[in-house]
Amino acid sequence: MRNRKDNKKDKRLSQVLFLLLLVSCFLFFISSVACGRRGDPVLIEHYNDIVDERDLDNNAKNAVESGDIPTKEHDADKEEIKAIAPDTPTGLVGVYTRKSIVLTWNEMTGQNVRFYNVYRSSGDNDFIFAGETVTPAFTDNNIDKNVQYYYKITAVGELESLPSDKIGIKTGIR
């Protein structure tokens, strides 16, 4: 009789542990898929669009009271804003991992850099946009074997900086 109760408890315990294991595996999968990986391209809403809409809304409220109709040109007459491009990114290095090319460079602090643009060329054509990232790292998964790739990076604040020095990375087994 004692043995049957122990067997039922053991069976229930194993069922609970299996359920906990299953739930934890599911949560781990969801968190790894939802969070992405560092360096993956990230779509970022441009700050200027947000600020312009907010400014226009505030000016519209003030205009209703004063009888004046706000426009962006009206606001531009009041104050001239000079935008300065960030410095050129430095320290660009890349590593071929047999599945991707991982790029890193020196982080640019104190220059209001919002994100970095990554440009790629396969040597026979001009540089094309490969993606953007908010961190000084980027993983290019869209590569072919036995191809020489070239990369340049720009920093984007109010304006886009000049491109970094280009680097070349040859894919394939060495």
- pLDDT tens for each residue of 54-107: 555 555 555 545 555 455 555 555 556 677 889 999 999 999 998 999 999 999
Token digits for 61? 């409220």
Q: What is the 3-state secondary structure (H, E, C) of 41-98?
A: CCCCCCHHHHHHHHHHHHHHHHHHHHCCCCCHHHHHHHCCCCCCCCCCCCCCEEEECC
Token digits for 174? 């060495």
Residue 69 falls within a domain, yes or no? yes
Residue 159 falls within a domain, yes or no? no
Residue 57 falls within a domain, yes or no? yes
Supply the range of the domain harboring residue 63: 47-78
**Number of folded domains in the chain?**
1
Question: What is the model's pTM?
Answer: 0.54
Residue 63 falls within a domain, yes or no? yes
